[in-house]
Structure 1
Amino acid sequence: MAKIQALLFDCDGVLLESEKFLKKEIHDWLLANYSNFEISFDDFYKTTRGQAFRHTINYLNEELNIKVGEDFFEAAENIFFSKYKSITVKMNNIDEVLNSLSDMPKAVCSNGLVDLYADTLEHHGIKHHFNTFFGIETTQNLKPAPDMFLQAAESLNIPIENCLIIDDSYLTGVPAGKASNAGVVVGFASDEFVEDYMMQDAGADYIIRDLIELPEIIKQVNKG
């Protein structure tokens, strides 16, 4: 296994936590405005977590046959942009972990909006740890396509084989990491809905429940 020389992080669910809070707001709005929307929050969140917004729309329209209209798009946009920064919290131990890995170049690779999440990282005092940022504005094919991770490795001038990817989504990020041929893909099972087998089936080389475990994995890999 090649030595790890760079780190590629997902944002929400890895560096920051906001998705569960935002999805709860959206779920409550759907319950109040669409009488045929009856799915529980747990099922809604488990099915849509880690996915781009367009996949949530497809899920509502095609699988649940809700056929959301323009009112939904306006409500979701308002919830997202008005509450993202205020509702977001840093993941446990993120400051300690980033400080301990300060000698490694890092990128953030998210299916979200770079302008929004980078501003929020700065708000929480951790943006300076990262060299470059990728998202909807930078990448046409989002995760589970590997493009974003390949772009990030190229931007850092590090072969993808020498990159470690850490992502919390077994639906998008972990498969994208494996498809990129990254040296190591870490599945971060950061909430109670994720079972280890989900990460294993998606191709994770390692599975962690707390970011504090990450430096030891890097140390083990680089020892050979």
Structure 2
Amino acid sequence: MKVTLLFNVLFICLLSTLGAHAKESLRYNLAASESWYPYYIPDEDKPGILGELIPLILDKAKIHGIELRFPPKRTIYAMDNGLLDFDVVSPVWFPGGDAGEQFVFSHKLFGIEEYYASLDGTQLGPMVYKEEVGTILGYYYFDENTFTRIDFASEKELVLALHKNRVERILIGDLPAKYWANKLSVSIRLDQLHTKGELKIRLNKSKIHLLPLLNKAITELQQTGKIDILVSKYTVNQK
């Protein structure tokens, strides 16, 4: 009996030790769009800034990352219902910079800009209330109640829609716009800045105990210049 009791105690201690050293896991999704160049393009040799940066952050934080790829509507549902632990967004995309009481933001990763854009050479008047604007399905827009969303699957499809005159204006990041305009031989004009902010990890509060580890990893990568080097790798020829 004493031997059995001793064995059980040792077994419980072993499980506790293993549990203490086991890596925490975070499930994440990087983008609703698969054409968010240069930030993220899956299944490529160069997966984009976030495709390389997020695994670096998780590795430095000693957190196991589980990348899941959901279609846009599923991604929104997964974030709202705890099926995903984090994504990468900018607070300026949300009304008042507030993504909701169930989420917290990490330190900044790097800056990002978004513009109203149109075909070069077109003569458009000022934006009017509820005007139709090409947008990305599953993306957040803080002022979307002021215009009529016409959703497309990706930045690539958005530029093609502009080219085919399916919409006269689109909302798109400056770097994705330049990349796809060049790839598709479409002349795009960036008319008006819509948002200028910083990309951050949006973490579900159920995992808030991991936020200090994520922030520490981000700070270290910033201080060593690795984030700047990674951003330059994908953007130096697009500026």
- Answer 1 or 2: which has greater helix percent: 1
TM interval, shorter chain, is: 0.3 to 0.5
TM-score, length of structure 1 as denominator length: 0.33
Write 1 or 2 for the structure with the bigger share of strand.
Answer: 2
Flag the structure with larger Rg.
2
